[in-house]
Amino acid sequence: MYTLIKIYCPKDTQKRCYIYYREGAKKFKVYNGKPLGVHCFPNQSNDYKERYCKLQYLASLLSDNLKKGDQPVKSLYKEISISTALEFAESITSKSVYSPTYRRDIRSMLKAFKGYLLRQGYANLGFDSVPVFVFQEFLNSYQSSGTYYMNKRRLLISILSKLLKSGIIKSNPAIDTTKRRSLATLNRAYSNTQLLTITEFIQKKSPNLYLCILLMYSSLLRPHQEIRNLKRGDFSVDFRYVFLSGSKNKSGRVRKIPTTDLIRQCLHRMNISELAPDDNIFTRSLNPPNPYYFSLIWSRIKKKLIAFDLITKEQTLYSFRHSAAIAIYNKGKDVALLRELLGHSSITVSLTYLRSLEWGETLVENALPQLGESEI
């Protein structure tokens, strides 16, 4: 027997809402009207009251269905074609807070996948009827390198995960595709000596890029979305904290991030305190810089840094965040804390930031297993 239907509708409209009930130990969630055969999408609304009314409507429909046949949500699910599912994915992506580059990559992947399905005659298959080998064959067209293949695989998994969370599909078959070994070459961390030298160099060339790097390294913010869009009002009065709402950062969570003396000194030198709350700290106007602002500045400065033999080709703007991750890990060897500070969705992602560590050099003799040690 099922429990009473309940509504989960957070005040923060950036968070997903749903109705749910339990049947034994299982919890069933309904995010929209698709499983119930109606066109009702509460999560597409940005108004709390409107979302709540739609959830009440869905709750009444679900209650009627359950009373008639005591059916769990999974039996009310209606399978859709794989082409329709990908159209939903495109709609979800267009409304996301991801960077323009990431949205572009997802759109490109969707277009390529839809083209492949049409050519192979799979476009009208029900999504749950599509075998894993269809996804595998599509990914096999990206075998020029292990890194290229894995990047495409991650994109496909990400796209289908959005559909899974929205209740549009029941599983993510891309997860069962083959993994390939990829060599990590980009975003190689900087040494401490490099950090001091190149930040001093950049400070003279571009104060805005210098501030971006400080915020990346010391406050662990991402450059192209979080830092680029910062306003005066996102800082506390004394500049000791940065406040990011769920819509302003990749993790989707509200974050309060401390700053450092160097960041505060830089903000004061740039007279950021004189700006209005809605003024962007880089353009000093209501409009933020263009999405490629920091990439373009970095690309010009990187050529000079390489020419002066200060950095290598594998070191990028994102290497500052990777360097910060290693510094944090070396302080406490706490990967869970590292994940929290970086705002990552999983520890697996955080571990990729530590790939520049020379693990062999960090081992100590006492950490190694010895033959003949007593068992615990």
Looking at every residue in the chain, the average pLDDT score rounds to: 84
- Please report the pLDDT score of residue 320 as a whole number: 93
209-246 burial, b at 16+ Cβ within 10 Å, e below that, comes to bbbbbbbbbbbbbbbbbbbbbbbbebbeeebeebebeb
- Please report the pLDDT score of residue 85 as a whole number: 86
Single-letter code of the amino acid located at 313: K
Q: How far is CA 184 from CA 77, 146, 188, 199, 256, in A?
A: 41, 10, 8, 24, 31
Q: Is the pLDDT of residue 186 over 90?
A: no
- Please report the pLDDT score of residue 32 as a whole number: 87
- Please report the pLDDT score of residue 18 as a whole number: 92
- Please report the pLDDT score of residue 97 as a whole number: 66
- Please report the pLDDT score of residue 366 as a whole number: 57
Q: How far is CA 249 from the centre of its chain?
A: 9
Percent of the chain with pLDDT over 90: 37
Entry pTM: 0.58
Of 185, 108, 175, 174, which is closest to residue 146 (Cα–Cα)? 185
CA-based diameter of the chain, in Å? 76
Q: Please report where in the chains the tokens 């999405």 appear, as a residue.
A: 291
**Which domains are assigned to the chain?**
6-76 (no CATH), 82-176 (1.10.150), 192-357 (1.10.443.10)
**CB-based contacts of 210-216 (< 8 A; 24+ apart in sequence):** 210/266, 211/263, 211/266, 211/267, 211/270, 211/281, 211/282, 212/294, 213/317, 213/320, 214/260, 214/262, 214/263, 214/266, 215/242, 215/259, 215/263, 216/317, 216/318, 216/320, 216/321, 216/324
- Please report the pLDDT score of residue 363 as a whole number: 44
- Please report the pLDDT score of residue 207 as a whole number: 95
Q: Are 141 and 96 in contact (CB under 8 A)?
A: no
Of 66-70, 132-136, 299-303, 333-337, the one with minimum mean pLDDT is 66-70
Q: How far is CA 306 from CA 189, 211, 314, 316, in A?
A: 15, 21, 10, 11
Of 123-127, 200-204, 335-339, 362-366, the one with minimum mean pLDDT is 362-366
Q: What is the mean pLDDT of residues 295-309?
A: 94
Of 68, 72, 76, which is closest to residue 35 (Cα–Cα)? 76
54-58, 70-74, 294-298: which is most confident: 294-298
- Please report the pLDDT score of residue 267 as a whole number: 96
Of 39-53, 131-145, 223-237, the one with minimum mean pLDDT is 39-53
Q: How far is CA 108 from CA 22, 104, 111, 373, in A?
A: 39, 6, 5, 55
